Structures are given as C-alpha cells and as structure tokens.
C-alpha cells in the first residue's frame, strides 16, 4: 500500500478538542502515571484520534500509523516497526511496562492493530531490499538498524549516555534532558520521561515548543534575510556580532516564547508569544535580545523543575542555536550552570543516530560514545549577570501566570 495523506507536522495542535474529550473521562494524573507524560495535542495518539473523527476514510484505510523514520525503514526493508523512544511520545504507550497501553488505546478508541511492533532502537531489521539497494547504489548486504526519535538520538549525540548526564538542545524546539535508571513522575506533571536507546535507561525531559523558532521568527519579522550588503555571512552572524558588542543592561523587555502554545513546564496550548515592557526607546536589537533571554528563561524554568528531583551540575549543549556566541553566553548566565560545548553541535542528532546504528551493527557499544564526540568549549556563568537575570526570571514566571486567563479568552475567540 501507499501513503493516504500528507503527514501532520509534530507541532500541529489541531487535536486540542480530542485532549479535552479524553480529559472529561480520564484523569490526567492516571494518564501521566501510565505514559510518563501529560496529554498534548502534538502527540501522535491524539492526532490519530483526530483523524478517526475528522477523516474517517483515512483512518479506516490505514494499515499502520508510522513515524517518519519508521516509514523510511518500511521502504528499505518492508518491515513495520517503531522503537521505544518514539512509541513513548504517542500518549498510547506504557512507560513502565514498555508496551502499548490497553487503557490509553481504549480511551482514545484507536485500533491497536494499526500500531506497529515496538522494539529497541538498536534492533537490526535485516538486509535492505535488493531493488531498493540497487536504486540507492548500495550493497545488497547493507543492513538497516531501527534507530530512534530525535530526542533520543540527540541524547546519544550529545554524549549523554550515563546516569546523571544532562544535555540541552537548542533547535526549532528546545529541551533539557537528564539520564536516569527510572522514569521520573513529577507530582505537578511538568516534565515527561523518554526512553533512551540504552536498555534500562530513561531521560526525563522538559520540552518547549518554540526555542530557536522564536529567534527565526523575530529575525524574519524585523530583518528579513538580505544582509549581503553588510558583508555578513547571514543575518544570524550579524545579530550575533552586534548583540555581543551592545550593552545588555538597557531597559528590560520580557518575552514569553509561546508562539506555538507550550509544553514544559506550563502545558498550556492556549499560551501565545508576548512582549512585555516595550517602550518608544526600544530598538529592534532590544527585541531580538529579549527573545534570546525569554527562550533561555523558559529553559531555566524547565531546569529548575528537573532539579527539584535530580541534581544537575553542568549541562552539555547542542543544536543549531548553540553556534550563536551570544546565546551561549546568555544561556550560561540565565541557567547559572557551566555549559560544555561539543564539536559539530548542529549535527549532534545525526551523529547520535549514526552511533545507534553502529551499536546495532555490533561495531562498538555505547561506552565508546565519547570517542566520537570532542568537547571544544566551556562557558562559565558570570555572577553579576546571573543576579540580574534572576530578577527578570521571577518577573518572567509572574507574567505568564498573570496572562493565563487572557490566553484562554483569546483562544475562545479564535475558536468562535
């Protein structure tokens, strides 16, 4: 069979009504206990429920619902499978039993025959199909390893493979994860637990929706992409240079980075991006700096939440946003932690995927990860900057709490 429709992107929150319907019959604390995560309209299980209600022909005609990597594996090998790391993020999977949850499948009225088999990330799916190997110019003896989701691959690529290792990913979305031997069930359900590629390991995480994408948005809104006349490589390098050279102690602006709603730590799909404190004296650069600071403060909120249960002393940082010198500096000062920067920060997820494939192929084990990852920089926080940011951070959290009802009202108007 073939594809029945275009994919629904991960950040799409069209299934908000499915979340509400489920919560009217199922306790969110029970859902969290089973899945290790609160409900989010961005999760696959809720999107499947949306398809069942809104596109029944697509739902009924579907043999298996697959993640992107699993569809590629299907084309390569003819086998239907997903791994623990992706299954955990569907709202249909039991984090403790590492199996599909009958309770969640029943609650969302999903046909479990439409869900793939779940296997470890390092599973060898066998040889590539001969016709596919020929089309790709590869040997027919080439083997395919199942692989992992982006967060799990990023953890490996960041070098976070031992209990206590913590990493921060700064990409379009952003998150902080720390490695444990058990799922972390937060009483307020502010963080979720993912399954690591290493058997018996987990990574409690807090993920925000619009990290680097907040920066891309403000860049496009205020500057566009035509900066060749300034002899800069691109707009980002220009902004990095001028922000490093400009004072950071001007009249403050608070930016709430909720362009796509938010997951951790507030779990509010109604929240929206907000600037607070704008005056006629502010310039474009002030707004860009506020975006960097606002994203960093939401990440601190996530970090503080994790630290209520787990000690964290230093953080490994990866993702395209870490190429920015100003962002590394702000992050270290806002988080109040030493940041360790590995080489190839923007390719860490791909490196992690390759390492998982190497382990699955029997070439080495996960203890060899650090052979592939060289640390190239350490960023230390500056005390005076930390103290200033702590004051702004307190106001940042207060601002969201004050606006929560406003966001809810705006959402009601959007829905008509």
Per-residue pLDDT tens for 288-306? 999 999 999 999 999 999 9
173-182 tens-digit pLDDT: 999 999 999 9
Question: What does DSSP say about strands 93-94 and 81-83: parallel, antiparallel, or unpaired?
Answer: unpaired
pLDDT score for 370 = 85
The pLDDT value given to residue 229: 42
CA distance 206 to 310: 13
What ranges in 1-67 are assigned the alpha helix state H?
16-23, 28-35, 44-54, 56-61
Give me the mean pLDDT over the 185-194 stretch.
96
Q: According to the model, what pLDDT value does residue 305 have?
A: 98
> What is the predicted pLDDT for the residue at 49?
97
Q: How far is CA 211 from CA 169, 273, 283, in A?
A: 9, 11, 22
Across the range 24-49, mean pLDDT stands at 94
* Domain range list for the chain: 1-147, 158-346+365-416
* Residue 19 clears pLDDT 80, i.e. is over it: yes
Residue 161 DSSP class: -
pLDDT of residue 156 exceeding 90: yes
Kindly report the CATH number that applies to the domain delimited by 1-147.
3.30.420.40
* Helix, strand, coil percent values for the chain (each to nearest 5): 45, 15, 40
At 236-259, the pLDDT tens digits run 888 999 999 988 778 999 999 999
Mean pLDDT, to the nearest integer, of 163-174? 96
pLDDT at 227 over 60: no
What pLDDT, on the 0 to 100 scale, is given for residue 196? 98
Q: Which residues pair with 194 in a beta bridge?
A: 203
Q: What's the whole-number mean pLDDT along residues 154-172?
A: 96
State residue 223's pLDDT score. Answer: 87
* pLDDT, the chain, mean: 94
CB atoms within 10 A of CB 416: 4
Assign 229 to helix, strand or coil.
helix
| pLDDT score of 201 more than 80 | yes
Q: Across residues 185-189, what is the average pLDDT?
A: 95
Give 399 or 39, the one with higher predicted confidence.
399
Domain 158-346+365-416, classified CATH 2.30.40.10, yes or no? no
β-strand partners of 96: none
Q: How confident is the model at residue 224 (pLDDT cuts 50, 70, 90)?
A: confident
DSSP assigned state of 268: B
Evaluate whether 166 touches 316 at the Cβ level (below 8 Å): yes
Read off the pLDDT of residues 66-104 as tens digits, 9 standing for 90 and up: 999 999 999 999 999 999 999 999 999 999 999 999 999
Segment 19-45 shows an average pLDDT of: 93
CA gap 296, 328 in Å, rounded: 10
Give residue-wise pLDDT tens across range 304-317: 999 999 999 999 99
Domains 1-147 and 158-346+365-416 are alike in CATH topology: yes
Q: Which residues are 262's β-sheet partners?
A: 268
Question: pLDDT tens for residues 379-416?
Answer: 999 999 999 999 999 999 999 999 999 999 999 999 88
pLDDT tens for residues 119-141? 999 999 999 999 999 999 999 99
> Tell me, what's the pLDDT at 333?
98
Q: How many residues does the chain have?
A: 416
Judge whether residue 226 has pLDDT over 70: no
Give the chain's radius of gyration (CA, Å): 22
User: Residue 228: what pLDDT?
Assistant: 52
């Amino acid at each position: 069979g073939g594809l029945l429709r275009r994919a629904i992107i991960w950040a799409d929150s069209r299934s908000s009504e499915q979340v509400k319907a489920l919560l009217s019959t199922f306790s969110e604390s029970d859902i969290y206990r089973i899945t290790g995560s609160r409900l989010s309209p961005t999760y696959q299980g809720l999107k499947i429920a949306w398809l069942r209600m809104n596109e029944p022909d697509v739902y009924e005609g579907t043999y298996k619902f697959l993640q992107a990597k699993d569809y590629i594996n299907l084309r390569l090998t003819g086998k239907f499978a997903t791994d623990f790391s992706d299954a955990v993020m569907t709202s249909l999977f039991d984090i403790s039993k590492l199996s599909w949850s009958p309770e969640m499948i029943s609650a969302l009225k999903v046909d479990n025959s439409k869900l793939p088999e779940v296997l470890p990330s390092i599973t060898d799916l066998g040889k590539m199909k001969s016709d596919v190997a020929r089309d790709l110019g590869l040997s027919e003896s080439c083997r395919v390893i199942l692989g992992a989701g982006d967060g799990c691959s990023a953890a490996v690529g960041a070098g976070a493979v031992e209990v206590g290792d913590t990493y921060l990913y700064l990409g379009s979305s952003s998150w902080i994860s720390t490695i444990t031997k058990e799922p972390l069930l937060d009483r307020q359900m502010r963080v979720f637990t993912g399954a690591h590629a290493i058997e018996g390991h987990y990574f409690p995480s807090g993920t925000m929706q619009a990290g680097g994408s907040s920066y891309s948005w403000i860049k496009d809104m205020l500057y566009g992409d035509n900066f060749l006349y300034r002899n800069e490589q691109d707009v980002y390098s220009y902004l990095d240079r001028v922000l490093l050279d400009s004072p950071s102690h001007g009249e403050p602006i608070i930016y709430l980075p909720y362009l796509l709603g938010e997951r951790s730590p507030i779990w509010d799909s109604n929240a929206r991006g907000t600037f607070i404190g704008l005056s006629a004296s502010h310039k474009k650069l002030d707004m860009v700096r506020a975006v960097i600071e606002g994203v960093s403060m939401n990440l601190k909120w996530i970090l503080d939440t994790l630290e209520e249960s787990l000690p964290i002393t230093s953080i490994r940082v990866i993702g395209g946003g870490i190429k920015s010198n100003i962002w590394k500096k702000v992050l270290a000062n806002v988080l109040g932690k030493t940041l360790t920067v590995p080489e190839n920060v923007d390719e860490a997820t791909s490196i992690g995927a390759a390492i998982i494939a190497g382990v699955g192929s029997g070439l080495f084990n996960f203890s060899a990860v650090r052979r592939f990852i060289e640390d190239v920089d350490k960023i230390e926080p500056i005390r005076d900057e930390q103290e200033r940011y702590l004051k702004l951070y307190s106001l940042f959290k207060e601002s969201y709490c004050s606006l929560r009802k406003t966001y809810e009202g705006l959402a009601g108007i959007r829905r008509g």
